[in-house]
Amino acid sequence: MTVTSPDRTISARTAISAGGRRPTIRPGRQWLALTHRSIIGMTRHGEFFLSITAPVLLTLCFYIPLRTIMDGYPGMDYAQFLMPVICLQSAGFVATSAAMRAATDSSTGLTSRLRSMPVNAMVPPLARLASNVVLLVVSLTWAIISGLVIGWRPTSGVVDFLGFIGVAMVVGLLLAFGADTIGAISKNPAATSQALALPQLILGMLSTGFIPEERFPDWIQPFARNQPISQFTELMRGFDAGEVTWDLAFPSLCWAAGIAAAGIAAVTLVTIRSSRG
């Protein structure tokens, strides 16, 4: 039997048959059904529209007022300089959206209802992650289009361009994964949005994504240089210039590993709590 209620979008043979046999669990079908439900909800609530407009507006808001000033900096092509952080900020938007969606599912009781059904505890977060991948691809695509419009060009070959995009995708997935867990824990969409917006704003503005390190006051340069947004930005610039080295990549790998470890630990706690609930 197929359960077709909107709140229980599970497409699998999970009901007990007339002969009294145990239910047949189809995690793959459950995952597809929940992913489809999430994507439909994202479309209905305008998240895809926002994932298109956010990179465009972000590009315009920073490139237009700062271009004249920054292009006068020795050796500066501001379109090339700005492009990595445009991609990372677009990924940050996806993370915020992921957190709010997870918090909404928890606050409306969907998460609790799924716990009472024969659904593997990992299926709902993996379904949300899959939908976040779709949103991330859309957002990064429009970030790339926006960059091309202002004059950014991938000049170092296909491999380096794939590395450039790969860094943005990995960072976006890590942020979405962690944000989804935060949303599931908080169960409060408004508070979750506020909790994620402030760190993104601080790290973004106090990074080397928008201005070079030497333009910051001396006392804050170490923070601006070593925080994660700056490190990911510099790695993307390395790919953009075809000059990636181990010394350049190592700090970003450490930050990525730390974010991944924190996210895995958090989702493990959520899964254990769900299974006991």
Q: How confident is the model over 10-42, as pLDDT tens digits?
A: 444 444 444 445 556 677 888 898 899 899 999
Closest by Cα among 4, 28, 1 to 17: 1
pLDDT band at 4 (very low <50, low <70, confident <90, very high): very low
Helices (H), 187-245: 189-205, 221-226, 228-241
Which residues contact residue 74 at a Cβ distance below 8 angstroms, ignoring those fewer than 6 apart?
Answer: none
Q: What percent of the chain has pLDDT over 70?
A: 87
In 3D space, the residue among 130, 123, 111, 119 whose CA is nearest the CA of residue 31 turns out to be 123
Phi, psi angles (nearest 5°) of residue 10:
-125, 120
**Which pLDDT value is given to residue 202?**
86
Burial class (CB in 10 A: 0-12, 13-18, 19+), 25: middle
Which pTM does this prediction carry? 0.85
Q: Which single residue is written with the structure tokens 């000049």? A: 155
Can you name the residues that pair with 10 across neighbouring β-strands? 3
pLDDT of residue 25: 65
Q: Tell me which range, 10-14, 106-110, 258-262, 271-275, is most confidently predicted by mean pLDDT.
A: 258-262
pLDDT tens, residue by residue, 118-176: 777 778 888 899 999 999 999 999 999 999 999 999 988 899 999 999 999 999 999 99
